[in-house]
Structure 1
Amino acid sequence: MARVFPLRNVLRPYQLEVARAVLESVRRRLGLTFTVMMSRQAGKNELSAQMELYLLARHLHRPEELVKCAPTFDPQARISLRRLWQRLEEAGLGELASLEEGRAVRLGRARQLFLSAEPGAHVVGHTATLLLEVDEAQEVDREKFQRDFLPMVAATGATVVLYGTPWDGSTLLEEMAEHHRELERRDGVRRHFQWDWQEVARHNPAYARFV
């Protein structure tokens, strides 16, 4: 099987901080929930795709399920699906992978499923055994997340990651981030990761020139 390159070769230092925490939670079945806030184009989707690639490759001989949702399937979740497929091909794993119903990527026995978090989307019944991700979580309805998505990890101890950018302080993402800060003050376990554009620019010259 083709070699999957270590994440440190493809991710920037601030992305690696998240990857290490998330993958450790997955590996140890800690069932932690994380919030990740980055400026636009800072690389949260690349971080997500690289972690998905790593977990699929690591568990391709096991019937594991990863789930990622976004405020819409088209275009948001579909963009994430295409990015993961591209990373699989770049890693030399394309021949072992398959696309299922245009909504899931399978590698061996492991599968990454992409779903819509729109209020009317029918998603009940799915289970995340390793990882549940919420993209652009500041746009996801709080009730939808708690009623339809959070139960997907209830019986599995899967890790949960919410990505996005800060808005007005009242979104699902920001409320979860504040909750995580409070938990960190109690037990010292980092659950919230946030970087502004200056930190991103420090590691990405092209980004620095743009902003």
Structure 2
Amino acid sequence: MRAPAARRATRWGLVAALCAVLFAVLAALVAARHGSPYPLDESLHRWSVQHRPAAAVAFARAVTTTGTGPVPYLCAVTAGLLVGWGRGARGRLLTAAGALGFLLLAQGLRYAVLYAVARPRPPVADRVTHASGFSFPSGHTATSALVAGLLAWAVWRTASPAAARLWWVLFACWAVTVGLTRVYLGVHWPTDVLGGWLYALTWLAAAMAVDAGVRRARVPREAGV
């Protein structure tokens, strides 16, 4: 098992590094224009503003609320509890605290990037939901993607492969939809959303690399007991 675990750790580490580089490049490109939108940003933003039937706006508002507030943090704790379910009360609490701590740490560093880039949001007149603060990377997008990853980790560790794959698709669809609603509702540029996805993928891939490394180190110790 050591060799496959080592390969997984290396593979996830490379994915994390690639996502981190892409995120850094995108952040630099946004900062280089002092936050001004790119032509693709403006084009997709304009399309969103021009295609807003009431039912679609109501749906987008409902979905977008799941990417902030208590919901993501409750989901992170739930993911930790599921993974630690067979480890006793102390193990469950530690795993839940670890999942919540992971999300909080990622959020804290996201705010550092947010204020460093200081990108203005799209015009207030084009928004159909409340938003405040700077724009890059999208907070709802990054948060929902991070939580989707934590939930995917939980079902990977607890469910059958077939069930896990089904849940992965559902979690991914939810996270992608939350990100798209931020553009549709006029509160983020598309590159903000792309930045949110890349930021979340960097953290998730890095976490998977660490997890594989820990499991690789644990196998020889358990075999020697």
TM-score by length of structure 2 reads 0.30
Higher strand share: 1
Higher helix share: 2
Find the structure with the greater CA-based Rg.
2
Q: Which structure ranks higher in relative contact order (CA pairs < 8 Å, sequence separation ≥ 6)?
A: 2
